[in-house]
Amino acid sequence: MTVPGRRSSTFIRLLRSGFTDPSAAARLLDTEALAAVRADPVLLDALGATADPDLALRGLVRLAEAQPSGELPGLLDTLVSAKPLRDRLLGVLGASEALGDHLARHPRDWIDLVTYEAADLHPGLPEFERGLADAHDPVALRVAYRRCLLSIAARDVCGTIDVAQTAAELADLATATLRAALRIATAAAPEDAALCRLAVIAMGKCGGNELNYVSDVDVIFVGDAANGANGAGGANGADEGKALQAATRLASHLMRICSETTVEGTIWPVDANLRPEGRNGPLVRTLASHLAYYQRWAKTWEFQALLKARAVAGDEALGTDYIDAITPLVWQAAERENFVPDVQKMRRRVVDNIPAAQVDRELKLGPGGLRDVEFAVQLLQLVHGRSDATLHSGTTLDALHALAAGGYVGRADAAQLHDAYRFLRAMEHRIQLYRLRRTHLVPEDENDLRRLGRSMGLRTEPVAELNKAWRRHASVVRRLHEKLFYRPLLDAVAQLTPGETRLSPRAAGQRLEALGYADPASALRHLEALASGVTRKAAIQRTLLPVMLGWFADSADPDAGLLNFRKVSDALGKTPWYLRLLRDEGAAAENLARVLSAGRLAPDLLMRAPEAVALLGDPEGLAPRTHEALVQEVLAAVGRAENPETAVAAARGVRRRELFRTAAADIIGSYGTEDSPAEEDHGALVDRVGGAVSDLTAATIAGALRAAVQAHFGDTLPTRFAVIGVGRFGGHELGYGSDADVLFVHEPREGVDEQEAAKAAQTVIAEMRRLLQLPTADPPLLIDADLRPEGRSGPLVRTLASYAAYYRRWSLTWESQALLRAEPVAGEEELGRRFIELIDPLRYPAEGLGEDAVREIRRLKARMESERLPRGADPTLHTKLGRGGLSDVEWTVQLMQMRHAWAEPGLRTTRTREALAAAHAAGLIPTDEAQILDEAWVLATRVRNAVMLVRGRAGDTFPSEARELAAVGRYLGYAEGTVGELLDDYRRITRRARAVVEELFYGARAVVEELFYGG
């Protein structure tokens, strides 16, 4: 029995230690469970150091009383002898009533805290997955989840991990839990799992690796048939329907596992309402269905939400495909009409919907709350992340740091936002940790505020200090939010012509916007940089800019034109000839304006060698150079180089310059200028581009071949060697982004062993490929030899005799068809000529093709149509494999060549349009039908060239983004606002071409043959 004096002494000590109810604490210390340690001063001090000593003591007593027989001494001994574990255990008990309840139900779980004995040991996703590995039912999963949560909370409240690490670990634990829940759902329905692929995409704070203790885990589900090919095809409609039904059942079960409440509580609700069409849309969609929705129907806020999307569970490949597919859409969202006003309205709507009684306590949504920071950061990310990949982070603090590093946010402002956001998130964490409830309201009860303040390290006057710090940080957030979110990205401060009455910044911005500039503030910044000052450079540019702004405005992307002009001027502005060229050569300035605003490819090429702008002022500067001149220049540069690397770098430099020449001529020929209208003969323009790029590719390969031979064999290779262009390369029809399809042939020199010769040829090919693929700023040139005999399974290079033997014994019809566009492009001319002599009888068979071979070609084409068109692609708009596209026209022409070239010499050409014209001249195709096929082929080729010019990367379909699509239309001669007409015209022209193809290639007779002879 405690004596009165001792009781009074204990009471005072408990009061000083932070207990609010010393009498109740004294009674708890007198319980039998704590008899062995009740007098230990270490325990009392440790309890007093917690956020709520009374709560910690109550939890400790419950834990002690729940210990299995014989295990209590171990707990008590740890409490007095192992400080790190004692601090973690008591810290959790003093901060979380809910985790105290968990420990009372599972009294041995405290031992798991020993796992994290080292202060610097932070479990990640693999550790959490191991912690959940034995959970094979929902109840066991809830228990294991709380056990893992206990480890995070223990290190959080003790300061071992900071608020950002805590949030990241909570997101890792959520990821592990979703995977475990899907595993349980799959085990419960293996027949469903066998039918489908299911990917779980985390959104919101889980996707951003910044989760709360208690928060809905937002997800999107992507499904596909089990035999689907990376979400892009491979399943028929019935398979897909069954797969989606199975995937929906699995996804629903996963959600129930995580969301249902039992005696062990709820893990957290899984919320799939961010999916397309929200709760009214299907729970699971295919990747193609997601993309169709985002490309046609999605609202601005949906792209903002996708900024944090992250694949976390299920089919890894499908999840990766989803992220890869939607990421470009996210970073194009800022180009949507009314993007910034939409985001601003959404933010105001969130604040307006907070109940009036709660607005002052709303930590997340209220003014100066967490959402203010997140919205401001996300807006700046979406605006500037289009051109700066360093901003592509779903984590708020990481994105804020990147914005500061990139100069988009002042460093002082970023530091204040950083500190405020961390403080507010820490408050949110500790509020939720108490009872593991989803809330963002700051409590009103004095005891709750006291516990919250102490948990934040505020011990002198915890309630007063907490309120003061909270209001201070909220005020900072609100002030900076308004500054960053609503203020124009840049004040309009351009001062163009001194001495004149200037437009106000507002009026200047409105005028630029009316001209089509999407970002008037940036435009004004560029104008100021270009035209301000008293230098000769500024004076000349002041005279140039008014008319150049009009030329830029006449393009689909005026902002890009002005920005690129500034970049070129920054690079060349001090070069005397540059400004003189633009001022004095009438066409140079307009040509430059057209090139800089037509897309990405030409400006990118120019930025790597700005001096190439001189080509735009030379009347002959845009004329393509001959193949002989290109080869001569490249070989001379290679001969002067000290090593193969510098040799090929020189060759690639020539290629870069000549690609710019070709692209600039193409753009100017398509757009036209005041002095030179747009070229009407689109076929001639296409032929010029295809020939120029093909000649340039051949010269580059010749240079790489010379460099490879010199590096390993000196002047003479032990074997004669030739490169044969095939496909579009051999047909002089390469586009800007085309690979170089080739065959390699060699022939041992006199006295050289055949194996030695073959080894030498292999060495040269490997060196050529290595050199051409070295990472540089120049556009890549990929050599593709997959059309060789036996494809990828066959040897990379053969002797002429080996080719002859193969073609004599094994050649298939499709291989003969592939040889129709074979032409020597590099190496020994005589060997190349003999190769052509070898293959001519194959590609132009005497008496033409037999009917069996014709049927084989038709079957192969039909199979290609059904299998190779990408899933989800619109067959009416796919330029290569779609209806009436390149493949349709080329196969039709090639079939005529193989059937009739033995008798019609004009058909013996590698070029599609030449062969089509020869077929018409020979009476094999009527005039109208020949014109229809030619028009479709030229249009499809122009679209592919336009996509590459506009986007800077190859593509076989029209861009989905409005400004890029408008730029493609502008290249094709369509005025602003007439993109719909472009797509209608393309569909009409290719539909007519397809009708001709069905008659000429397949034909009514072919249909009869298929029916009566078994196809």
pLDDT in tens, 205-224: 999 999 999 999 999 999 99
Closest C-alpha to 517, from 494, 483, 485: 494
Residue 347, pLDDT > 70, answer no
Q: Taking Cα atoms as reference points, which of 667, 689, 692, 674 lies closest to residue 564?
A: 667
Query: Residues 884-928: pLDDT tens digits?
Result: 999 999 999 999 999 999 999 999 999 999 999 999 999 999 999
- C-beta separation of 221 from 283 below 8 A: yes
Per-residue pLDDT, 199: 98
Q: In this predicted model, which residue has the larger pLDDT, 680 or 786?
A: 786
Q: How is residue 726 written in tokens?
A: 């095939």
**Dihedral of the alpha carbons of 607, 613, 616, 622, in degrees to the nearest 10:** -70
- Between CA 882 and CA 884 the distance in angstroms is 6
Q: Beta-carbon neighbour count of residue 281 at 10 Å?
A: 14
Query: Could you give the CA distance from residue 707 to residue 699 in angstroms, rounded to a whole number?
Result: 12
Whether 456 shows a pLDDT value over 80: the answer reads yes
Integer Cα distance of 405 and 410 in angstroms: 9
% of the chain exceeding 70 in pLDDT: 88
For residues 673 and 657, give the distance between their C-alpha atoms in angstroms, rounded to a whole number.
22
Contact 571, 607 (CB under 8 A): yes
Say which DSSP state 722 is in: E
Classify residue 887 as exposed, middle or buried by CB count within 10 Å of its CB (0-12, 13-18, 19+): buried
Angle at the Cα of 384 from the Cα atoms of 383 and 388, rounded to 5 degrees: 145
pTM: 0.53
Q: Confidence band (pLDDT; 50, 70, 90) for 249? A: very high
Where do runs of H (alpha helix) occur along 189-227?
A: 190-195, 204-207
Q: Which residue has the tokens 């959404």?
A: 346
DSSP string, 818-883: HGGG-EEEEE-HHHHHHHHHHHHHHHS-TT---HHHHHHHHHHHHHHHHHTSPTT--TTT-TTTST
Task: Return the DSSP state at 740.
Answer: E
Q: What is the mean pLDDT of the chain?
A: 86
- Pairwise CA distance, residues 132 & 392, whole Å: 31
Mean pLDDT (whole number) for 768-779: 86
Is residue 501 classed as helix, strand or coil in its secondary structure?
coil
| Residue 188: other Cβ atoms inside 10 A | 15
Task: Determine which of 168-177, 226-235, 286-295 has the lowest per-residue pLDDT on average.
Answer: 226-235
pLDDT at site 890:
95
Three-state DSSP state, 960: coil
* Lowest-confidence region among 401-410, 591-600, 730-739, 904-913: 401-410
How far is residue 189 CA from its own chain's centroid? 34
Indicate left, alpha or beta for 416 from its phi (over 0: left) and psi (-120 to 50: alpha).
Answer: alpha
Per-residue pLDDT tens for 463-480?
999 999 999 998 888 777
Asked whether residue 975 carries a pLDDT value surpassing 90, the answer given is no
Nearest CA to 212 among 128, 138, 139, 269? 269
pLDDT for residue 476 = 86
Spatial contact of 693 and 734, defined as CB atoms under 8 Å apart: yes
